């Protein structure tokens, strides 16, 4: 088992003294028309994209697996097993989320980011909360600013999308809520189906898993994250969303027709994940599936590149365990693996998020049975 922290990226382990998000975010906000990029947005050369995706058109050839959700159960399970093990990222088609719903979310999302500043300020993310406008949580691990802004809504089953969006509604009408909630419900249904198929593909028996851990179809939590990347004339010098893995089981992402998502598979260069078709979704394996599968499926490192001329909106559905569920390698996975040793201890998702917000890419090692000697030393980062 290779060390999970053997990331080829030099992550800064110390957060800058003043996180570049929250109240001062919009005060120091970028102006997309600025002739030259403000220094704070210029990233060190080794962290910059090797090219910007401006001239790449949808349907560009790629060998990333495509999962057809209309396939029979057996084909679906084996396709997913292969995609999760070999890639950690894949496309899904025939997933059942209607194209017109996707288009409405896209339209409302763009409307959301074009709201006037004082309206956005009312829904700014507060310290200790995920919800609202702001830079992504991980921005505090980087000493440069990201060329993006985000809006996070925590959803199903105790939907607070209504609360987050109601802070934005002018008057009593909440014009964002309905469409975001409908999309959240639709994508979580897809995520639930995928999770069942992925776990069953690993030999997990669903009733036992439900008793010992959680009901992946009835109890999973969701968040809906919108990321907006304004056009950036010097896109090659900055980073839209820096390299990270998601703390999820699975993440379903729609990037519209504008490319920008890149993935890093171990031992390979960064690779673009081009938009495949207007309705295809990209699925990423997250940290929790890595634990449930006892490291057989690894969460995939990814990042987003800004574009020189085109604005980009990504619509990201995050699927993760309920707060009180026990996360640990699934029993059946341990029983069929050669060494039978769990790589990870049991923990709760909240504990994981706490570790992630402190140790970032070192968080998973915190829950490993043996701290790898070459890993991040906790003393170093605390
Ligand atoms: C349910 C989640 C998962 C979160 C935190 C919370 C809500 C927003 C998610 C993201 C979305 C953007 C990247 C990320 C790294 C971030 O900064 O915020 C994600 C993070 C995680 O996957 O760790
Ligand atoms: O915008 C993208 O393509 C990536 C977004 C992402 O990775 C995230 O929100 O977690
Ligand atoms: Fe992500």
Tell me the two tokens of residue 250: 């699975």
The residue among 297, 376, 380 whose CA lies nearest residue 3 is 376
Identify whether 242 is part of a domain. yes
pLDDT at 34: 57
pTM of this structure? 0.89
Identify whether 358 is part of a domain. no
Whether 97 is in the pocket of ligand 2, judged by its Cβ within 6 Å, is no
Question: Cα separation of 177 and 167, whole Å?
Answer: 11
Domain that residue 193 falls in: 40-323
Q: Would residue 309 show up in a list of annotated catalytic residues for this protein?
A: no
Question: Cα separation of 358 and 365, whole Å?
Answer: 12
Alpha-helix residue ranges (DSSP H) falling in the chain = 23-27, 73-86, 99-113, 117-122, 161-166, 177-201, 206-212, 287-292, 331-336, 349-359, 363-366, 378-381
Question: Cα separation of 162 and 173, whole Å?
Answer: 11
Identify whether 29 is part of a domain. no
Give the other-Cβ count within 10 Å of 218's Cβ.
Answer: 10
- The answer to whether ipTM exceeds 0.95 is yes
Identify whether 338 is part of a domain. no
- Residue 286 Cα, ligand 3 centroid: separation in angstroms? 9
DSSP string for 49-83: -SS-GGGPPTT----S-EEETTS-HHHHHHHHHHH
Radius of gyration of the chain (CA): 20
Report the residue among 261, 272, 275, 282 best suited for mutation to probe ligand 2: largest number of ligand atoms under 8 A from its CB: 261
3-class secondary structure, 113: helix
Pick the more confident residue, 67 or 341: 67
Question: Cα separation of 109 and 148, whole Å?
Answer: 14
- Residue 234 Cα, ligand 3 centroid: separation in angstroms? 23
Taking each continuous run of H as one helix and of E as one strand, the counts in the chain are 12, 12
pLDDT at 174: 61
Ligand 1, atom 1: nearest CA belongs to which residue? 223
Question: Cα separation of 104 and 171, whole Å?
Answer: 21
Question: Cα separation of 267 and 270, whole Å?
Answer: 10
Pick the more confident residue, 153 or 193: 193
Identify whether 263 is part of a domain. yes
Instruction: Identify whether the C-beta of residue 42 lies closer than 8 Å to the C-beta of residue 237.
Output: yes
Instruction: Identify whether the C-beta of residue 244 lies closer than 8 Å to the C-beta of residue 301.
Output: yes
Residues near 44 by Cβ (< 8 Å), separated by ≥ 6?
Answer: 144
Pick the more confident residue, 21 or 293: 293
pLDDT at 120: 81
pLDDT in tens, 170-187: 444 467 888 998 999 999
Identify whether 354 is part of a domain. no
Question: What is the CATH number for 211?
Answer: 2.60.120.330
Question: Cα separation of 292 and 327, whole Å?
Answer: 7
Peptide bond into 157 cis (omega under 30): yes
Count up the domains in the chain and report the number: 1
Q: Is the pLDDT of residue 382 over 50?
A: no
Give the other-Cβ count within 10 Å of 224's Cβ.
Answer: 24
pLDDT at 40: 84
290 Ramachandran zone, left/alpha/beta (phi>0; psi -120 to 50): alpha
Report the residue among 238, 287, 314 best suited for mutation to probe ligand 2: largest number of ligand atoms under 8 A from its CB: 314
Question: Cα separation of 194 and 192, whole Å?
Answer: 5
pLDDT above 90 as % of the chain: 61
Identify whether 295 is part of a domain. yes
Identify whether 366 is part of a domain. no
β-pair type (261-264, 271-272): antiparallel
Which atom in ligand 2 lies closest to the alpha carbon of residue 312? Answer: 1
């Amino acid at each position: 088992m290779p060390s999970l922290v053997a990331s080829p990226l030099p992550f800064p382990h110390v957060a800058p003294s003043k996180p570049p998000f929250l109240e001062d975010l919009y005060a120091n906000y970028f102006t997309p028309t600025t002739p030259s990029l403000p220094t704070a947005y210029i990233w060190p050369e080794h962290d910059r994209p090797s090219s910007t995706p401006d001239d790449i058109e949808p349907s560009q050839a790629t060998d990333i697996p495509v999962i057809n959700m209309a396939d029979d159960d057996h084909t679906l399970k084996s396709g997913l097993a292969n995609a999760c093990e070999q890639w950690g990222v894949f496309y899904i088609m025939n997933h059942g989320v209607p194209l017109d719903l996707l288009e409405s979310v896209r339209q409302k999302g763009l409307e959301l980011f074009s709201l006037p500043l004082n309206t956005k300020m009312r829904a700014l993310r507060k310290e200790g909360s995920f919800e609202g406008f702001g830079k992504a949580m991980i921005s505090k691990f980087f000493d440069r600013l990201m060329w993006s802004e985000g809006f996070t809504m925590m959803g199903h089953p105790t939907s607070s999308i209504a609360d987050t969006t109601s802070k934005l509604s002018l008057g009593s009408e909440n014009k964002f809520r309905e469409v975001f909630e409908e999309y959240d419900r639709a994508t979580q249904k897809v995520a639930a189906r995928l999770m069942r198929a992925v776990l069953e593909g690993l030999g997990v028996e669903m009733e036992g898993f439900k008793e010992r851990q959680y009901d992946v179809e009835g109890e999973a939590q969701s968040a809906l994250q919108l990321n907006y990347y304004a056009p950036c004339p010097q896109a090659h010098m900055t980073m839209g969303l820096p390299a990270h893995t998601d703390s999820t089981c699975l993440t379903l992402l729609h990037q519209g027709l504008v490319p920008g998502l890149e993935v890093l598979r171990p031992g390979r260069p960064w690779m673009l994940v081009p938009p495949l078709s207007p309705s295809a979704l990209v699925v990423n394996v997250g940290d929790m599936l890595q634990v449930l599968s006892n490291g057989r499926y690894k969460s995939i490192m990814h990042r987003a590149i800004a574009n020189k001329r085109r604005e980009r909106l990504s619509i990201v559905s995050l699927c993760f365990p309920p707060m009180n569920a026990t996360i640990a390698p699934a029993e059946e996975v341990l029983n069929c693996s050669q060494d039978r040793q769990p790589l990870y201890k049991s923990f709760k998702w909240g504990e994981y998020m706490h570790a992630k917000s402190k140790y970032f890419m070192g968080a998973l090692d915190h829950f490993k049975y043996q701290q790898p000697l070459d890993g991040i030393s906790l003393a170093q980062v605390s």
